[in-house]
Amino acid sequence: MEKPGETAGTVLVAVPGGKGLMSTLAKHGFRVQACKNLAELIKRFDRSTDAIVLRQTTLVPSKTHLLAKALATQPPWSDVPVIFLAKAGSEGKKASQRALQILGDANMLVLPSPLRIVALVTALRAAARTRRHQRAVRDLFEQREAALASISDAFSVLDRDWRYIYVNNRVLELTGKRKEELIGHVIWEIFPEAVGAEFYQRCHRAMETQQPDHFQVFYKPWGRWIDTRIYPTSDGLAIYRADISEMMEQQKRLRESEQRLHVAEER
């Protein structure tokens, strides 16, 4: 069981000569990891990180851009808080402004000297709560991804500008495309041969009327019969497509057999 204030993740601390600070944070229930410099901190930075604590002198220009890159390339659910310990006076103010400019949209808090431990502990506890919420969002996102990926139909989502915003693996198999060829791209630009065809018309009608649709059509470019269900959403369209070519072929053979039987009976 976690102690009061104890975090689920790790606090990375890059504060030269900060043994006393590390000890104090550990006593307050934080799992701290000392980093001798910015390069080591970046190396240790991962999904388990709850917060980053930096002293002004740690943010050396030659490595700062690497930290900015690491923060900018976090997963969509993640926004690790950065606590910047600045010097007092104009020097600390200028350094804080530079850090804010370099780190861009980073979730950064500046604590000026002299450092008040209660302020740092409060900030880290808030960071731990934030990270717990973020990980809960991650878990929900991963559960949703697993559920959508398990759908046997080709499932895709289009936004109102007709751009793919989600595809499962079955879509990739059906279209012969890679995920990066679809996500963010307009469906009619990827498949121009579909423009004006029944699928195109039905999608536009569903978008305009906000009414679901269900139909079966033979798509010549793929040489397949496709069962299609279209559901309007607040953001665009959700589309389920299934290859029913085998079923249609079986039905065709059955009809032919029935016709032959009927002809034989009439003779």
Asked if the structure places residue 92 within a domain, the reply is yes
What's the pLDDT score for residue 247?
A: 73
Residue 260 counted as domain residue: no
What CA dihedral angle connects 184, 143, 32 and 27, to 10 degrees? 140
pLDDT in tens, 171-187: 998 899 999 999 999 99
Same domain flag for 122 and 70: yes
Cβ neighbours of residue 253 under 8 Å, at least 6 residues apart? none
The DSSP line for 14-77 is E-TT-HHHHHHHHHTT--EEE-SSHHHHHHH-STTEEEEEEEGGG--HHHHHHHHHHHHTS-TT
Residue range(s) defining the domain that contains residue 163: 151-249
pLDDT in tens, 31-79: 999 999 999 999 999 999 999 999 888 888 788 889 999 999 999 889 9
On whether residue 256 sits in a domain, the answer given is no
Q: What is the CATH number of the domain that holds 38?
A: 3.40.50.2300
Tell me, yes or no, whether 79 and 165 share the same domain.
Answer: no
- Greater confidence (186 vs 103) lies with 186
152 pLDDT higher than 80: no
Q: Which amino acid is at 139?
A: D
Strand order through the sheet with 82-86: 32-34, 10-14, 49-55, 82-86, 108-112
Are 239 and 160 members of one domain? yes
Query: What is the DSSP-derived secondary structure letter of residue 103?
Result: S
160 and 139 in a common domain: no
Query: Which DSSP state fits 7?
Result: -
Quick one: pLDDT at residue 5?
41
Same domain, 26 and 130: yes
Establish if 239 belongs to a structural domain: yes
For residue 26, give the amino acid letter: A
Q: What's the domain count of the chain?
A: 2
Distance CA(260)–CA(223), nearest Å, equals: 27
Residue 79 CA to residue 135 CA, distance in Å, equals 10
